[in-house]
Structure 1
Amino acid sequence: MGTERESLRVVGTALPSGSPEPTHRRGAREVTPADLVRMLVHRWTTVAATTVVALVAAAAWVVATAPTYEATVILQLPERTPPAVAGIDDLPATADPTVANGEIEVLRSRTLLGQVVDKLRLAVEASPRSFPVFGAAMARRVPRQEPAAAPLGLDGWAWGGERIRVTRLDVPPSLVGRELRVTALQDAAFRLAGPDGTDLGEGRVGVPFVASVGGRPLTLQLAELVARPGTSFTAQVRSRDDVIDDLQKALRVEEKVKRSGVISVSLEGADPERLAQTLDALAAAYAQHQIARRTAELSRQLDFLETQLPTLKKGVVQAEQALNEFQVRRGAVNVSQETQSLLERIVGIERGLSDLRSREAELRLQFNDSHPELPTIRGRMKLLEDQRAAIDRRMRDLPLREAEAARLSRNVEVASGLYFHLQAKAQEIRIARAGVSGAVSLIDIARVPVDPVRPIPAIVLAVGLLLGLGAGVALALGHRVLSEGEEDPEEIEAAVGVPVFATIVRSSAERTLERAAGGRRRSRPALAEASREDPAVEALRAVRTAVQPALAAARRNVIVIGAPSPRVGKTFVAVNLAQLYAAEGKRVLLVDADLRRGRVHQFFGLHRGTGLAEVLRGEHPLEEAVRPTRIAGVDLLTTGSLPKDPSELLGGAALGKTIELARQRYDLVVVDTPPVLAVTDAALVAPLAGATLFVLRAGEHPIREINLALKVLARSGSSITGAVLNDARSVGGRYGYGRYRRYEYRSQRG
């Protein structure tokens, strides 16, 4: 407080100097949830500041991040692949779990994606140049269709509403992946510059512009250019492979429901219209791929049948000749009804075996022996062959002439039946190939997305709020856990054996006094004078009461106020104690013994003038150096002019004589001294005291530091009567301590 610290308020009660030393050890009391809550309450500014910073950062991220859109197209695959040879209706329909996975890989293949890249010219990129950091965010929020005005004369940048559309950009291999600069001019004209800024010439929208770069041609044609004259755009041709790789990474293809055959194809990006165009082009390319694949399959099937038809026709002719020769040689033979039934059955069996062999050959040609349908086909073939063998055995039991006639008739029936059956299938395939269409159904086309999928402001701000709160709590608790300074008066008493007379926290009344005075170095009333009912004043009265036994026992009416380090509030304690004693009707002398940078005079609006330094040097007597203050009953002995040798001056016999003379003339002498650990001056003054108060700032001093300061005073033959814990923000917590810190304390003269 006063000239050395921020405004403070005192709470707590004073401990009498004769109180027994506590017996519990440091660190014995565990931290309770209530302690943690108090820590957070006292550190609420840290939590609030961290939360606000996190929210601001989250909001800035939402504003600065380009929105990401998502478009989706949904395809329906066929339930199963049609057989190469139709008509095998009695085969069981088996679902192939690998079909969907295979089609997903086809959709993600470089072949299809390459077709999309070429069709939409995705390798050609052109965009306005936005101002770094925040220019793109500002441009995205321009609602108008016309180009926005450039702020602060920054005409070269795009600020929203600019458009460019490239219909053709062919560059030499050396410029692939490198940005060209397009600058808008008046009347739909533009200027083109190379990556190194080389001017390549001027062109017009709608007219091909041709330039030579390194002996190779460069062609640029714009379909649209909307911008203020002077606005710059970038245009480049990326590597086709790189564009395909990026598209492959961004594409998400998945089966919506397992074994459903419904495929969802999604793509994310910053341009909604291009996303929809890309997915529609991919769906079209996939449908064309399916048509080409089906056409090729039918062509292979037809080729296979056409190679079989001549052989089958030859078999029909041979079978008919053999039957005719038999009838000429043996005459007509009547075949029984049973034999005729067997012939019809065997014709059907042979037809089924022919179809199965064709299907087996087709599958083995495409998939080797790995297709899951092959075991079913082979099982069916084995069943038909067994049936044919059974019929053959029955026909061997017929009479010889009837059996031979039946055999020859069977051959004719089988050969002609297979021939006409395959001929009909070939005609069906020719018709199917002529009118082939894609087997894939387009359920949902890609819709141009309106709302972005990222970022979602509400979610981002909620995450920022949670992270800010979490970080703030972590910082607040971490500061307490890792802090070297001690804040618990009970822990201080237990560790150093010195009673703490009062615990001081910030006072709103003291802060009001400082603001009214316009600063700490302006004359203003003491807290004990302006706000007599303030809790700080009551606590200081308790300190005054606690000091009385020590003064009476020592029979020396001198109170020395010290501290281990600067800026802990010694001046506040000294001034207010002096005022409280004066309020009892006592005459008090306030001595500023800090001959290096003492500032007690500023509290009263005085100058250093003649003071302690002149008295110790014998240049002026004490009565000439003492000056009255605005506080009735309180006189002040300032530092005087700051000497070059303060320690030598304080270490002489003159100090003792001066203090002795002062204590004879006044009821009480209050001496404000320099920090103990910074300089040796306080150790020179302390032996002259009847009572020594040690001012500590809560959270600033490790126990080792306090002990070291006490040892310094003990070597001078003095001891501490009691301590005052200043600027405390928590009571009752247990916090760690560590190595003490050193302080610089240089003289300030003038």
Structure 2
Amino acid sequence: MNTDSKNVSNSASKEDNDEIDLMALLFAILRGWKTIVFFAVLGLIVGILYSRYVNPTFRSDALIQIEENSKGVAALGADISELIGSQASKAEAEAELIRSRMILEPVVNLLHLRIRLSDPNISTIDKIKNNSTDTQINKPEGVSLETEDGKVEVSQFNVSQDYLNQPFILTRSATGFVLSNGFDDFKGQIGKVHQFRGTDGQIQITVNDLPADGYPINITKQSLQTTTEQINTELSVVEKGKQTGIIQLSMTGANQQQTSLILKQIVLSYIDQNESRGSEETTKTISFMETQIPTLKKKLEDSEAIFNEFRKKYGTIDVSKEAELLLTESSQIDVQLNELKLKKADLTTYYTEEHPLVTQINEQLEVLNTRKQDIDDTIVGLPEIQREFLQLSADSTINREIYLTLVKNYEQLKIVKAGQIGFARIIDLPINNFKAIAPKKLLIIILAMLLGSMLGTMLVLLKNMLRNVVKDPERLEAKTGVPVVATVPRSPLLTRLRRSNKKAPNRLLAYVDNNSLSYEAIKSLRTNLMFGMPAQGRAGQRAKVILITGESPGVGKSFISSNLTEVFAQLDKKVLIMDADMRLGELHKMFSMSQDNGLGDYLSQDKTHLSKDNAHVSKIVANQEDYLASFIHPTGIDNIDFMPRGQHPRNPASLLANGSFDHLMKELNLHYDYIIIDSPPILAASDAMILSQYADKVLMVARYDKSIEGQVVYAVNQMNKANIKVDGIILNDVQQGLLSKYSYHYSYAYGNNN
């Protein structure tokens, strides 16, 4: 064969192995369908219970628009707009602001969200049974909770710092209520405000209603931080789209009306704060003006009173043209000075003296004051009465102008403030739709079933990997080096009989299912053994001895031994079947006989009375035959005798090795054509190694899909170490079907099926 053909052959062989492995994996999963179905059903049950255990969850939504600028001030004119700074905000920043304690704290206080009520009498079974449980309702009037024995209403519950987040138990008493934290009991009357002093501080509570006497209610006062964190876990604030300025608020909760109410108050709290922030500068300016108007009004009234008194005393005085010009200029300077002083006072509300705008106004004031001083010096030369007249007239005029200007601006700012609405507006307030968004019961059930199925599949595969059971005869032969001489299928009829009556004795296939594949496989095994054994037994003896054992209990060696005995008896051969498992042998149940007077009893008897003197050989032989006959029992089946296990001795292995068994086998060889020995499992006892010395054939039984390959290999190795050859392996209880990859090892039933 050339190199190319070798490579093609190796590649094809590798593909076949891969296909076999994948097929084996698939068949392993299909064979474990019961486990997978069990976990799928278990997942279904868990999913149903969980979907009923969890309270329904509802959601409420609201929309807020964030505008770039407030346009209310600009609409009144440029002069007023200069007094108010422009406002701008981004939706992302506002979304974070909504989640802050500044916005949430007023809502928490209004709805008493820090008070938590719960019913400890509701168990898990109650939640599953009722499908949903009542939750507390928070309103401005207080907190309430419905229970099976009545309603809880608490309108006030304030505690000191050390009592925060600590649970209290509230119960109705004959005189009112009892509030307990496990250390202190506080008693009060329903409907009245009570203030208690406990170990850790003050407690103030008002209880309006409670369930029946003795029904406990858990009540807790949470800290503000804990409450706002809980709200934020249920609150979602995101910008809808990109750069839209639309903020979507969503909140989830166990009660639709409660959730909508809380979200509505959050929206209103934010809008109130936004409007207050938008008119903050206007409010400060109005406040400043309100403090200056009375002062200016008083100053105007004083100046007018002095001027009127002067005129009453001296009458009207004519002033020259020059004096009038100076007076006019001085009046204008005074007006400018007062306007600059007013503007400076407004600026210093927000800026320091070092600000450029303030510095510029100071320079202008200095120039005007210098000019005013020059005019005053000029006017000094005028006659005293004229000068005084001019001075009083100017003071009155200036004060009147300043006062009227300030009152005008004050009224205008009040109009501006009334028109300012902030840069956020409500688009949609939350509404109640009473449509639960969770739990999605169908989805939960499907996912639970899938997870259960996946878990079952993983367990099947894990079991298949960790517990490599016997399934493939070729693989078993390759592992052990021992040929599989027979594969015995499971008898469906016998299996049904055993399941229908577990206490019924085991039965031979010849009398239960003689047309089955199982029975034909036993006959095939007989044929194999007939042609595989010499014409005579060991050392020219008459009997041919077949030892049947297994690697572990429960592989069906007694089933194989008894049925193999029956098919050998059909050849008109004298057959003895011996139950050599003196510990747990149950071969007597196959023949519906007693276990008494068997091998264990024979080996345990004292035989010292049997002399070895040649003079008495004939007498000894006669005595020995009579003695042995008491431990061998007819089965009622032609050509078959049975030697049960007898009573359980203390040292079975020692009894087999002390020579008595050797003497027994010599006697039995004289009377039987076949002796079939059912021995204990190899890995459970060493009896099989001792018994193998007397056997012409040593057969090991392994059970399909139960015996572990490693144990079978180890058992064969243990026999080989004792210089005992295992002549063949019988694969018992092989199950045929579509899920079995090795069903081609079955024989075909050929005969009468009537």
> Does the pair score TM above 0.5?
yes
Greater CA drift, 476-485 or 723-732: 723-732
Change (3 A) 1:142 1:708: closer
Give the drift of 1:308: 14
Partner of 1:6: none
3-state SS in 2 of match to 1:134: helix
Give the drift of 1:629: 2.4
CA distance in 2, matches of 1:683, 1:595: 15
CA distance in 2, matches of 1:717, 1:434: 112
Percent of paired sites with the same residue:
24
Give the drift of 1:305: 10
Change (3 A) 1:425 1:723: farther
Give the aligned residue type for 2:667. Answer: L
Partner of 2:227: 243
CA distance in 2, matches of 1:31, 1:56: 36
> Would the aligned equivalents of 1:559 and 1:692 in 2 still touch at CA under 8 Å?
yes
1:590 aligned to 2:577? yes
Partner of 2:69: 80
Partner of 2:157: 169
CA distance in 2, matches of 1:421, 1:635: 136
Give the drift of 1:709: 2.3
3-state SS in 1 of match to 2:189: strand
Give the drift of 1:456: 1.2
Query: Which one of 98, 101, 105 corresponds to residue 107 of structure 1?
Result: 98
> Would the aligned equivalents of 1:73 and 1:265 in 2 still touch at CA under 8 Å?
yes
Partner of 2:215: 231
Greater CA drift, 458-467 or 30-39: 30-39
Partner of 2:667: 661
Change (3 A) 1:163 1:432: same
CA distance in 2, matches of 1:528, 1:447: 81
Give the drift of 1:699: 5.1
Give the drift of 1:247: 1.9
TM-score calculated relative to the size of structure 2: 0.70
Change (3 A) 1:61 1:298: same
Give the aligned residue type for 2:180. Answer: G
Give the drift of 1:425: 7.8
Deviations 1:235-268 (A, max 9, x none): 1211122212322333210112222222111122
CA distance in 1, matches of 2:183, 2:205: 17
Query: Which one of 437, 445, 466 corresponds to residue 461 of structure 1?
Result: 445
Partner of 1:392: none
Change (3 A) 1:503 1:307: farther
Give the drift of 1:441: 2.9
Give the aligned residue type for 2:681. Answer: P
Give the drift of 1:590: 1.3
Partner of 2:260: 276
Query: Which one of 506, 509, 523 corresponds to residue 505 of structure 2?
Result: 523
CA distance in 2, matches of 1:717, 1:98: 94
Query: Which one of 562, 565, 572 corresponds to residue 575 of structure 1?
Result: 562
1:600 aligned to 2:587? yes
3-state SS in 2 of match to 1:536: helix
Give the aligned residue type for 1:114. Answer: E
1:537 aligned to 2:519? yes
> Would the aligned equivalents of 2:552 and 2:683 in 1 still touch at CA under 8 Å?
yes
CA distance in 1, matches of 2:591, 2:720: 33
Give the aligned residue type for 2:104. Answer: L
Change (3 A) 1:684 1:141: same
CA distance in 1, matches of 2:406, 2:536: 131
> Would the aligned equivalents of 1:185 and 1:230 in 2 still touch at CA under 8 Å?
yes
Give the drift of 1:442: 2.4
Q: What is the aligned length?
A: 597
Query: Which one of 579, 598, 602 corresponds to residue 611 of structure 1?
Result: 598
Give the aligned residue type for 1:207. Answer: K
CA distance in 1, matches of 2:255, 2:638: 80
Give the drift of 1:602: 2.8
Give the aligned residue type for 1:469. Answer: S
3-state SS in 1 of match to 2:430: coil
Give the aligned residue type for 2:160. Answer: P
Flag structure 2 segments of 5+ consecutive residues without an equivalent: 1-12, 137-144, 294-320, 327-342, 356-403, 538-542, 608-625, 743-754
Partner of 2:25: 36
> Would the aligned equivalents of 1:684 and 1:716 in 2 still touch at CA under 8 Å?
no
3-state SS in 1 of match to 2:55: coil
Alignment of structure 1 residues 440-519 onto 2, 5 Å:
440-448=424-432, 450-504=434-488, 506-519=490-503
> Would the aligned equivalents of 2:491 and 2:513 in 1 still touch at CA under 8 Å?
no
Query: Which one of 699, 712, 730 corresponds to residue 706 of structure 1?
Result: 712
Partner of 1:673: 679
3-state SS in 1 of match to 2:252: strand
Query: Which one of 185, 189, 196 corresponds to residue 182 of structure 2?
Result: 196
Give the drift of 1:711: 3.5
> Would the aligned equivalents of 1:485 and 1:703 in 2 still touch at CA under 8 Å?
yes
3-state SS in 1 of match to 2:645: coil
Partner of 1:566: 553
CA distance in 1, matches of 2:200, 2:100: 36
Partner of 1:20: none
Give the drift of 1:47: 0.9
Give the drift of 1:703: 4.9
Alignment of structure 1 residues 77-226 onto 2, 5 Å:
77-82=66-71, 87=77, 99-138=90-129, 141=132, 160=148, 162-185=150-173, 190-196=176-182, 198-204=184-190, 206-214=191-199, 216-225=201-210
> Would the aligned equivalents of 1:523 and 1:603 in 2 still touch at CA under 8 Å?
yes
CA distance in 2, matches of 1:78, 1:43: 65
3-state SS in 1 of match to 2:162: helix
CA distance in 1, matches of 2:72, 2:420: 15
Q: Which has the higher contact order (CA 8 A, sep 6+)?
A: 1
Alignment of structure 1 residues 332-347 onto 2, 5 Å:
none
